Homo-oligomer: A and B are copies of this chain.
Amino acid sequence: MNIRYPSGKVYNGNGNNKNKRNTKLSSIQYGNRGMTLEEDLDITNKFYLQENIAVIHKKPTPIQIVSVDYPQRSAAVIKEAYFKIASTTDYNGVYRGKYIDFEAKETKNKTSFPLSNFHDHQIKHMRQVVKQNGICFVILMFTLLQEVYLLPAEKLFEYWDRKNNGGRKSITREEIMEHGYEIPIGYQPRIDYIKHVDEHFC
């Protein structure tokens, strides 16, 4: 079983994983903007909320609590807990009555997006959402290229199945450019994905 950071990245116990990162505890800079994709999406979602455009929230990181200490007249302190694997995607919410569900991932690669960023249970969840006519996609960022794409879940399933049938373990940047939609990084909102939902899902 993989252990995950709150960011969703796999925890590598030997400490030598160069991708190791925990956005809750420390922050890494991408490109020259000093913001993570998660932070950009948080700001975007706050903007959507304030402007009554959509109500989208990131789900809390699932934690298995083992031990809690209750000091007198003070806050309960969790003394032992473990990260659990999320059974769904990180983001969901409502846009004009419609259900929206997505996962957001970054890569430092420049030519392809590794499918190892996703997991069986997440793909399964996304298939369930699509079957229920929810709007479902992934937001993929090439951090070093400063490029962000929205890729519909149905397309992701094709690449996922290709991998499971012995094909390549990643999606090429060209495939993402062809079947996804580039979201320019802006000021407000930072990553205006709802615009693409409007154009391509509604």
Contact = CB atoms under 8 A, between A and B. Distances in A.
Given A22-B68, A57-B87, A131 B52 contact: yes
Nearest to A67: B25
Given A15-B70, A88-B57, A52 B3 contact: no
A24 B65 contact: yes
Contact of A62 (B60, B128, B134): B60
Report the contact-size class of chain A (Cβ under 8 Å from the partner): 35 or more
B129 A55 contact: yes
A71 interface: yes
A134 B73 CA distance: 39
A82 B73 contact: no
A199 interface: no
A28 interface: no
A125 to B, nearest CB: 8
A154 B171 CA distance: 45
A200 B62 CA distance: 33
Contact of A6 (B65, B88, B93, B98): B65
A74 B131 contact: no
Given A55-B134, A133-B97, A77 B82 contact: yes
Which 5 A-B residue pairings sit nearest by Cβ, starting from the closest? A97-B133, A94-B99, A94-B134, A60-B62, A78-B81
Interface string A143-161: 0000000000000000000
Interface of A: 3, 5-6, 11, 13-15, 22, 24-25, 49, 52, 54-55, 57, 59-63, 65, 68, 70-84, 86-88, 92-101, 125, 128-129, 131-135
Contacts of A55: 125, 128-129, 132, 134
Contacts of A86: 60
B13 A65 contact: no
B78 A132 contact: no
A14 B77 contact: no
